[in-house]
């Protein structure tokens, strides 16, 4: 028995944050019905490259769900949704504040129909506040939270993050956490609730050390100058002779000493408190003397928290991740399969079914009563 077996989810969201949240719920056994626009559906269906009739992005994020293609502006269609709303446990939506209310599908309306419903609204800036109606994307939330200011490139300018941190870390994951908490609370009270998940708000968790340093000691972080943002030789990326990169993170003293031995760093640079910049230059010079494969051989079997940077393709073929079963599940379309998106749900809570498809637009429309 999967932990969310029997839990019914109506997913009105699109693109990444909401669909990833409901994917995680589906992987734990929830029955997820995706509500989409007729004809076009979720905008992400139109992206490229394609996998089957829709985009591979859509396939990855909507594995194992069903689809209803309905016009939410049509009052008759909204009436057809009433049986599903009465039977639903969770609603996830991602519109700007007020949109679902204008459609007659906001929390107050749904709560009147089904007091047990857990209504999760995911937005960039939350349901209230001066920016509640402002249009923005991941990069904007990261910039306005201060997170973007911490890492800088060689020219001192901020670097575009390599992941959609706000969408996933500020939106999808907090949504799942709070939905599970709400289910637990409902077990005790019998009542649902509204969850206000603001991606911008939730980014401050990533700033725990920066906030602590500034608030407690008045030491506000400088771009690229702090211990874990590039200011230390012990947490830095070094270029090898063959233009590959070493990710070196020997923060603790025992790892640092092992690292210094492995690269044969000159003794005068090993106390990196004396002249941090000089130590970093010396380490960079040593790493640049040899190709990545040589350093990989030297680092093997030693406790020093260093590795050669992998490409995404290399990571997907990494024997460690393969041995862990990270890529054992597949998403299928038109008789073909690719590796499914790994999600942070323990195998013990997931279905034994390895292969699953993604929904064709409107494939569940037959469940609506005329």
pLDDT digits (tens, 9 = 90+) for 202-238: 999 999 999 999 999 999 999 989 999 999 999 999 9
* 182 and 89 together in one domain: yes
Residue 369 is predicted with a pLDDT of 78
Domain with 21 in it: what CATH number? Answer: 3.40.50.10540
Instruction: Look at the chain and report how many structural domains it folds into.
Output: 2
Among all residues, which ones are annotated catalytic? 137, 167
Tokens found for residue 327: 């890529």
* 22 and 162 together in one domain: yes
Q: Kindly indicate the confidence band of residue 1, based on its pLDDT and cuts at 50, 70 and 90.
A: confident
The model's pTM is: 0.95
**β-strand partners of 276:** none
Q: How far is CA 5 from CA 29, 172, 186, 325, in A?
A: 5, 20, 16, 23
What span, in angstroms and rounded, lies between the C-alpha atoms of 142 and 129? Answer: 18
Q: Which domain holds residue 275?
A: 245-308
Does residue 2 lie in a domain region? no
* 280 and 143 together in one domain: no
CB 18 within 8 A of CB 172: yes
* 174 and 294 together in one domain: no
Asked if pLDDT for residue 152 goes beyond 90, the answer is no
* 296 and 200 together in one domain: no
* 20 and 73 together in one domain: yes
**β-strand partners of 239:** 245
* 138 and 278 together in one domain: no
Does residue 18 lie in a domain region? yes
* 339 and 191 together in one domain: yes
Does residue 236 lie in a domain region? no
* 120 and 80 together in one domain: yes
Residue 155 is predicted with a pLDDT of 86
What percent of the chain is modeled with pLDDT above 70? 100
Does residue 232 lie in a domain region? no
Helix (H, G, I), strand (E, B) or coil at 120: strand
Q: How far is CA 315 from CA 64, 303, 309, in A?
A: 25, 21, 9
* 94 and 197 together in one domain: yes
Does residue 338 lie in a domain region? yes
* 286 and 336 together in one domain: no
CB 78 within 8 A of CB 369: no
Q: What is the mean pLDDT of residues 69-82?
A: 94
Residue 51 is predicted with a pLDDT of 97
Q: Kindly indicate the confidence band of residue 153, based on its pLDDT and cuts at 50, 70 and 90.
A: confident
Q: What is the DSSP string of 4-58?
A: TTT-EEEE---TTHHHHHHHHHHHTT-EEEEEE-TTT-SGGGG-SSEETTEEHHH
Angle at CA 195, nearest 5°, toward 358 and 41? 30
């Amino acid at each position: 028995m999967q932990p969310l077996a029997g839990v019914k989810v109506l997913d009105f969201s699109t693109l990444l944050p909401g669909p990833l949240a409901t994917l995680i719920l589906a992987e734990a056994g929830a029955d997820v019905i995706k509500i989409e626009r007729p004809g076009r559906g979720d905008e992400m269906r139109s992206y490229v490259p394609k996998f089957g009739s829709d985009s591979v992005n859509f396939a990855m994020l909507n594995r194992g769900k069903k689809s209803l293609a309905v016009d939410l502006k049509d009052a008759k269609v909204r009436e057809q949704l009433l049986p599903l709303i009465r039977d639903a446990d969770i609603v996830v939506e991602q519109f700007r504040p007020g949109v679902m209310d204008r459609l007659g599908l906001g929390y107050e309306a749904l709560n009147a129909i089904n007091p047990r419903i857990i209504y999760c609204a995911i937005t960039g800036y939350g349901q209230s506040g001066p920016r509640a109606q402002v249009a923005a994307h991941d990069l904007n939330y990261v910039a306005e939270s201060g997170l973007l200011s911490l890492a800088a490139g060689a020219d001192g300018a901020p670097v575009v993050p390599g992941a959609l941190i706000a969408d996933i870390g500020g939106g999808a994951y907090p949504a799942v956490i709070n939905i599970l908490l709400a289910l637990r609370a409902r077990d005790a009270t019998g009542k649902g609730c509204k969850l206000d998940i603001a991606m911008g708000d939730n980014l401050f968790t990533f700033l725990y050390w920066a906030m602590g340093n500034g608030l407690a000691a008045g030491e506000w972080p400088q771009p690229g100058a702090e211990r874990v943002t590039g200011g230390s030789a012990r947490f830095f990326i070094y270029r090898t002779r063959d233009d590959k990169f070493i990710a070196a993170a020997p923060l603790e003293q025992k790892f640092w000493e092992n690292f210094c031995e492995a690269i044969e760093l000159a003794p005068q640079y090993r106390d990196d408190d004396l002249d941090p910049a000089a130590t970093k230059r010396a380490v960079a010079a040593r790493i640049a003397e040899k190709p990545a494969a040589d350093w990989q051989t030297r680092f093997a079997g030693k406790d020093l928290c260093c590795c050669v940077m992998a490409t995404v393709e290399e990571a997907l073929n990494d024997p460690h991740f393969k041995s862990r079963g990270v890529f054992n599940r597949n998403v299928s379309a038109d008789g073909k399969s690719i590796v499914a998106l790994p999600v942070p749900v323990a195998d013990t809570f997931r279905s034994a079914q390895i292969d699953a498809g993604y929904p064709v637009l409107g494939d569940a429309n037959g469940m609506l009563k005329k």
